[in-house]
């Protein structure tokens, strides 16, 4: 303020001037594929952010737990009103909720009053908000978010679930470096990839005692993602030896894997050896 540095500050406009209901022409764009994609993306990200925030707040207090269905219904109703008024989409924010809990809030009135204070300042004291630098608000958000990271628990998490720590760190860095929207989207994408990887984890153990049938033990989740690896191992087995396939350790066997293994068993049995014996566990 004293040096008159060119720092962006909060801009507060009149509330009535900020209300810009959509025109009839805007409703005609609802069939636009690009617009529908944006709506679905905001729905996914905003819903995920609200649920993550609610789960994080539940860990900060011992009071009533969040009713997630009611939370999403309220957010949908609120965003419908926001759209009709021409306002930005709304979503739960962990920083404000954590501030309420740390201040000793006990009831739902705390979040309602939080909005009331913001409304009063925007309506009655816009000049006071106008002296706040936007970088200062960003610093408060980053600091408040950093305090919510369980640094001590991350050491134990790293020993047991390193993938979760990687997703946490990448998501946090992306939110700070890019934006909240892209950061959460990157985190969700990484979580989906990790889930797919975990779901496709499978191990094929070959036991060959030199005499008698070769035993092939399949353990884990056999999906099409690991089908090439499974088939390569089975195809490498000698054609002149009987084979016993044990599927008792398989938690999930999708249709593609089942059909591919049946076809392999048919080809292997047709080579003049004993039919492939399969012990199924799924």
User: Is 5 within the bounds of a domain?
Assistant: no
Whether residues 43 and 110 fall in one domain: yes
Ranges of H-type helices in the chain: 15-18, 24-28, 33-58, 68-85, 94-102, 109-124, 126-129, 134-147, 151-160, 162-177, 180-199, 227-235, 255-269
From CA 5, how far away is CA 249, in angstroms rounded?
A: 67
- Residue 282 CA to residue 277 CA, distance in Å, equals 15
**% of the chain surpassing 90 pLDDT:** 5
Domain total of the chain: 3
Residue 73 pLDDT more than 90?
Answer: yes
Span 123-160, pLDDT tens digits:
888 888 888 999 998 888 888 778 777 777 888 888 87
Q: 109-124 vs 94-102: helix axis angle to the nearest 10?
A: 110
CATH code, 216? 3.30.750.24
Q: State pLDDT tens for residues 214-252.
A: 889 888 888 777 788 888 888 888 888 888 988 888 888
The reply to whether 165 and 120 lie within a common domain is no
What pLDDT, in 10s, does the model give residues 101-124? 888 888 888 888 888 988 888 888
Asked if residue 214 and residue 182 are part of one domain, the reply reads no
Q: Is the pTM of this model over 0.75?
A: no
Residues 6+ apart with CB under 8 A from 264: 231, 234, 235
Q: Is 157 left (phi over 0), alpha (psi -120 to 50) or beta?
A: alpha
Residue 90 lies in a domain: yes
Q: How far apart are CA 111 and CA 85, in angstroms?
A: 22
Containing domain of residue 101, as a range?
15-131
Structure-block tokens of residue 172: 């946090």
Question: Residue 53 falls within a domain, yes or no?
Answer: yes
Q: How many whole angstroms separate alpha carbon 156 and alpha carbon 165?
A: 10
Q: Is 97 exposed, middle or buried (0-12, 13-18, 19+ CB in 10 A)?
A: buried
Nearest to 124 by CA among 15, 11, 9, 19: 15
């Amino acid at each position: 303020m004293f040096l008159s540095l060119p720092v962006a500050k909060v801009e507060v406009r009149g509330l009535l001037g900020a209300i810009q209901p959509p025109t009839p022409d805007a409703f005609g764009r609802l069939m636009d594929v690009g617009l529908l994609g944006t709506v679905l993306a905001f729905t996914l990200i905003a819903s995920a952010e609200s649920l993550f925030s609610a789960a994080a707040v539940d860990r900060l207090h011992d009071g009533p737990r969040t009713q997630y269905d009611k939370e999403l219904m309220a957010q949908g109703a609120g965003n419908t009103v926001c759209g009709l008024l021409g306002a930005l989409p709304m979503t739960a924010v962990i920083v404000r909720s954590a501030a309420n809990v740390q201040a000793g809030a006990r009831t739902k009135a705390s979040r309602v009053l939080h909005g009331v204070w913001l409304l009063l300042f925007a309506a009655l004291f816009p000049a006071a908000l106008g002296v706040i630098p936007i970088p200062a608000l960003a610093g408060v958000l980053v600091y408040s978010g950093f305090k919510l990271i369980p640094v001590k628990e991350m050491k134990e998490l790293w020993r047991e679930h390193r993938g979760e720590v990687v997703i946490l760190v990448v998501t946090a860095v992306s939110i700070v470096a890019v934006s909240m929207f892209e950061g959460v989207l990157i985190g969700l994408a990484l979580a989906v990839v990790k889930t797919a990887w975990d779901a496709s984890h499978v191990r094929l153990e070959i036991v060959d005692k030199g005499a008698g049938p070769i035993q092939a033990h399949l353990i884990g989740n056999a999906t099409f993602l690991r089908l090439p690896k499974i088939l390569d191992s089975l195809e490498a087995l000698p054609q002149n030896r009987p084979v016993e396939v044990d599927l008792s350790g398989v938690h999930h066997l999708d249709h593609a894997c089942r059909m591919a293994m049946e076809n392999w068993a048919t080809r292997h049995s047709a080579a003049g050896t004993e039919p492939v014996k399969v012990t199924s566990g799924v």
